[in-house]
Amino acid sequence: MSPAEFVGDLLNPDLAFLPKALLVATMSSIVCGVVGCYVVLRGMAFIGDAVAHAVFPGLAVAFVMGGSLVLGGTVAGVVTALLIAVFAQNRRLKEDAVIGVFFVAAFALGIVIISRAPGYAGSLQQFLFGSITGIPDRDIVVVAGMGLLVLGVLLALHKELVTVSLDRESARAMGIPVFWLDLVLYVLVTLAVVISVQTIGNILVLALLITPAATARLLTDRLAVMMLLAPAIGALAALLGMYVSWSWDYPTGGTIVLLLTAGFFAAWVFAPRQGLLAKRRRRGPELTVVDGDARAVVR
């Protein structure tokens, strides 16, 4: 299928689900790209995967009761984040241990709940791998509203979140409320994950959160540029992923993730300053002495 034919399908009234799917995928990618920058800076990749597990029982309850998946997942994720923040205050347990306990328990609870619904296998597949073409109109409005909320909070707390991300001890010494900022970031990650689950599924959502930000990190040393590049990379992958999956009948979520991963590998090799080739060029030839003669050895 040519790009012109794809645009024609987007404008076709009989395929109204297609532009909705593209809109949700793009919005999700932009929000996850911005939030992911803070996650990558703090080395919190595990938290994204854990949150994806935490929202699952809320998704399951909403599905069984016929409610909004976005709102159900949000409630479950926020409640779990609050429990982690409280239990992590016990200094005998590290935060990652508490996260592991609660998020895996939440995912198990979701499995039990969804197993009570008719068509259990199909429902489970929808949650795990996404169902972007079946998104109802009300969820588009919710995704847009929550996305704007997340971006607004990040804009308001940008300076404090960056300070905590770079040096937590200095932030505490400056009187910055590190605990509350951690909690805010957990909640924002939860919201970003929830609005993205229908796009690429519970299993693959971590890629939408981490990979664009990691790719942008390789391409620039400036935080402001990174936070512009990450959502742009995510949105481009969503657009290309929708085009490829629609043209060749591939799974949308998996296609988007593979394109993001390909972009990451390209940046890892070709990035102008941090890429593999750039580092090798900076090293240049190395002079070694063999039997009294100087010889150049290229590394």
d(CA 149, CA 16) in angstroms, rounded, equals: 27
d(CA 176, CA 291) in angstroms, rounded, equals: 62
Across the chain, the runs of DSSP E, i.e. the strands, are: 285-290, 293-298
CATH 3.50.7.10 fits domain 14-298? no
Q: For residue 267, how far is the Cα from the chain centroid?
A: 18
CB 207 within 8 A of CB 261: yes
CA distances from 105 to 109, 113, 190, 206, 212 (A): 6, 12, 16, 18, 29
d(CA 234, CA 236) in angstroms, rounded, equals: 5
Q: Which residue has the higher pLDDT, 86 or 195?
A: 195
pLDDT (tens digit per residue) in 228-259: 999 999 999 999 998 998 888 888 888 888 99
Residue 150, pLDDT score: 93
Residue-by-residue DSSP string for 216-268: HHHH-S-HHHHHHHHHHHHHHHHHHHHHHHHHHT--HHHHHHHHHHHHHHHHH
CB 147 within 8 A of CB 27: yes
d(CA 38, CA 262) in angstroms, rounded, equals: 22
Averaged confidence pLDDT in the chain: 80
39-49 mean pLDDT:
75
148-166 mean pLDDT:
90
Tell me the Ramachandran region of residue 155: left when phi exceeds 0, alpha when psi lies from -120 to 50, beta otherwise.
alpha
- Is the dihedral angle over the CA atoms 87, 88, 90, 95 positive or is it negative? positive
Residue 299, pLDDT score: 45
Residue 297, pLDDT score: 46
pLDDT (tens digit per residue) in 126-153: 555 556 666 677 778 888 888 999 999 9
Residue 290, pLDDT score: 53
* Closest among 78, 96, 80 to 88, alpha carbons compared: 96
17-29 mean pLDDT:
85
d(CA 117, CA 140) in angstroms, rounded, equals: 24
pLDDT (tens digit per residue) in 251-272: 888 888 899 999 999 999 988 8
Range among 9-23, 54-68, 92-106, 192-206 with highest mean pLDDT value: 9-23
CB 221 within 8 A of CB 270: no
42-59 mean pLDDT:
75
221 Cβ neighbours under 8 A, 6+ residues apart: 273
d(CA 54, CA 116) in angstroms, rounded, equals: 19
78-86 mean pLDDT:
76
Q: Which residue has the higher pLDDT, 84 or 156?
A: 156
79-93 mean pLDDT:
71
3-state secondary structure of 176: coil
